[in-house]
Amino acid sequence: MFWKIIALLGSGTFLFTGMDILGDPNCISVSFRGGGARSLVTQCYLDQSGNFSQTTAGLGLILISIILLLLLFWKNILSYLNVFGGKLDKTFKDTFEESEEQSLSLIPEAMRSGTRDNHYKLDKKKSIAIGVVLVLMVSFLVVPRMSVFDRWTCSSLRNEIKNIDTEGKSHWNSYQEEIAILGRMQWGDFAHENQIATVKRRALELLRNDEQAEFVLNSNQRCLVDSTILETRVKYTQDALNYFTGKTAINGKYFSADYGWPTDFYRGYMDFEVYVRK
């Protein structure tokens, strides 16, 4: 009894610690260390310097708690399943026998011999095993995809950002193709100014896609690795949009095709997915 009480207290500790980690917006990653005899101390970090991600550590502790509870109350659970399984067996048996009588009434008397003995009898242990397998399948396949867990896993945000990144890479490739065409032109070429306008249009499509990704990420601050890093990119995007749309000037000059195009602008595409914590 003493060890059961200790195990029950330990299970509760793991459960509430795991929930506390998952609910802490400042706990991006976690490390564990010994805090003395038979104790464990959790250390949260605002970045990825911990040994485990917030989701892994929190859900891992909750899983340990569930395993301890199962070990503690396994006999009670098994006993309940046996009683519950027996009731199911009786229900299935009564329903089956009623259906069987109706079916046999349609069969000629000469063909009924031995029909009843050949019917399958529901095995209680098999039904319990099937039930356990179904519960495990639901736990591992359905529960992680339920929206109630999304605030911890950030899976829907990650998928949305992946889609935005896919579109962003497409815009970036189109932009680079137009930059390559512009690079093959001579200054003063009659089509030079038109090509700069095309490059500008592609650049604005790319920047507005970035703006969309930044808005989605800013709306989900809890899922970010570090919001300050994102702020730098947001400022860069807004400054570029304002300059190319003629709202602001750089070094006292507004954008004009007469000045050419800054070919070093946006030399590479950086995925927005890196801002979402794992």
The model's pLDDT over 74-131, given as tens digits with 9 standing for 90+, comes to: 776 667 666 555 555 555 555 555 555 555 455 455 444 444 444 444 454 555 555 5
Please tell me the predicted confidence (pLDDT) of residue 193.
87
Closest among 145, 210, 204 to 178, alpha carbons compared: 204
pTM over cut 0.75? no
Lowest-confidence range among 10-24, 53-67, 82-96, 148-162? Answer: 82-96
Share of the chain above pLDDT 90, in %: 26
Average pLDDT, the chain: 75
* Spatial CB neighbours of 21, under 8 Å, sequence gap ≥ 6: 27, 30, 42, 44, 54, 57, 58, 61
Q: How far is CA 104 from CA 91, 108, 114, in A?
A: 20, 8, 11
If one compares 33 and 276, the residue with the highest pLDDT of the two is 276
Count the neighbouring beta carbons within 10 Å of the beta carbon of residue 274: 11
Distance in angstroms (rounded) separating the CA atoms of residues 255 and 193: 13
Please tell me the predicted confidence (pLDDT) of residue 268.
92
Length of the chain: 278
- Residue 43 phi/psi, 5° resolution? -125, 120
Please tell me the predicted confidence (pLDDT) of residue 64.
86
If one compares 188 and 238, the residue with the highest pLDDT of the two is 238
Closest among 237, 6, 32, 24 to 151, alpha carbons compared: 24
